């Protein structure tokens, strides 16, 4: 059953009358678990395609950013810069190739 869970999950388990068995991950293991969690959340989005799943993906992205020393604000600044330089995906352009 071992997996990375949100911070309040042990508290929720206790409120349900159960005893959570947890351990705190070392930084390197935490990072690997975050990467696996991202894959899990993306797969869940593919299956369910709803905003809740996108929120889960975003939460993992924020945690990954923090794990590499990047704050949410820095991530947003980086996003805005890249978006201004390269655009987004709103125009649905599909590149067939180039010459």
Run of H or E including 11: helix 9-15
The whole-number pLDDT of residue 29 equals 96
* Cα–Cα dist 16/10, whole Å: 10
Residue located via tokens 């997996």: 3
pTM of the model: 0.87
User: 22-28 long-range contacts, Cβ below 8 Å, gap at least 24?
Assistant: 27/67
The whole-number pLDDT of residue 30 equals 97
Per-residue model confidence as pLDDT tens digits over 23-38: 999 999 999 999 999 9
The whole-number pLDDT of residue 47 equals 97
Taking the mean position of all CA atoms in its chain, how far away is CA 94?
26
Mean pLDDT of the chain: 96
Per-residue model confidence as pLDDT tens digits over 46-74: 999 999 999 999 999 999 999 999 999 99
C-alpha atoms less than 13 angstroms from C-alpha of 1 in its C-beta half-sphere: 5
Taking the mean position of all CA atoms in its chain, how far away is CA 21?
23
């Amino acid at each position: 059953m071992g997996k990375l869970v949100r911070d309040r999950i042990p508290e929720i388990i206790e409120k349900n009358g159960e005893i959570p068995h947890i351990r705190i991950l070392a930084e390197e293991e935490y990072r690997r678990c975050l990467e696996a969690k991202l894959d899990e959340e993306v797969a869940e989005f593919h299956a369910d395609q709803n905003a809740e799943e996108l929120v889960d993906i975003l939460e993992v992205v924020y945690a990954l950013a923090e794990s590499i020393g990047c704050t949410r604000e820095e991530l947003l600044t980086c996003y805005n810069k890249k978006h201004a330089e390269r655009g987004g995906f709103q125009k649905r352009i599909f590149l067939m190739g180039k010459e």
